[in-house]
A = this chain, B = another copy of it.
Amino acid sequence: MRTQQLFDVNCLSCPNRNCSLLNCCDDNWVSFINDNKTVLHCKKGHHIINEETPVNGIYFILSGKVKVYKTGLGNKKQIIRLARNGDIVGHRGINRKFWPISATAIEDSFICFISNENFEKVVMSNPKLGYQMVLFFSDELFRSEEIVKNLSSLMVREKVAYALMKISESYPVFGNKIQEILLSRQDIAELAGTTKEQVSKHLNEFVKENIISFEGKRILVNNFKQLEIIANFHSTR
């Protein structure tokens, strides 16, 4: 059975071998990670991290997708990241006693877990990894502050466009400029920072404008460029 095989995956032959962690460690340390990791099978909807609970370690997505979010006043949720295979989840726990975020699987996923102590050992022994972590955090900070900027300056229509862009980043591209999106209206709303009703209305607007189209429960992006324009997006690095 395929899922059983995944449980036994060896880090040395990990499909995400070029991920942030493994990429910066020599084989000895990859073996160490392999011996000290746990692989979790998370079904869609499974809570991997719960806000305010004690930080125990760090997670890496072997396969699947995970939403990372914060719960605000009135139980309002704001998704701050969509993570996929190869991504780190839980680096926000570094230097904290309690989780500042929650994480939930939005697809059936396999997640690798490493305890705090073991991860610290790996980082301390692989200077290149430490530097890589700085770069990674710098990038995460950038993304977070883009969200801040957008939440405070965009109209809902623009926020929804931005959310679609973010989502399609996490999904594979099929053909030319066609991405597929499979998330509930509620999820999109929590990512965009609005309500599910607004998402529904604006998505249907976008369909009328031929920017996206529906295919069953899927959303196909027909005109990615136009989404970027609406979302006021311009890539600078």
Q: Do the beta carbons of B127 and A73 come within 8 Å of each other?
A: no
A197 within 8 A of B: no
Q: Contacting A145 at CB < 8 Å: which of B100, B130, B134, B152?
A: B100
Distance to closest chain B CB from A196 (angstroms) = 14
Distance to closest chain B CB from A141 (angstroms) = 5
Q: Contacting A95 at CB < 8 Å: which of B72, B73, B138?
A: B138
* Copies of this protein, total: 2
Interface size on A, residues (CB 8 A): 48
Question: In the docked arrangement, what's the CA distance between A85 and B74, Å?
Answer: 36
Closest 4 CB pairs of A and B: A72-B153, A137-B137, A144-B144, A76-B153
29 A-B contacts, Cβ less than 8 Å apart?
A71-B149, A72-B149, A72-B154, A73-B153, A73-B154, A73-B232, A76-B152, A78-B149, A78-B152, A80-B148, A92-B138, A92-B142, A92-B145, A94-B138, A95-B139, A96-B142, A98-B237, A100-B146, A123-B134, A127-B130, A130-B130, A130-B131, A133-B134, A134-B137, A137-B137, A140-B141, A141-B141, A141-B144, A144-B148
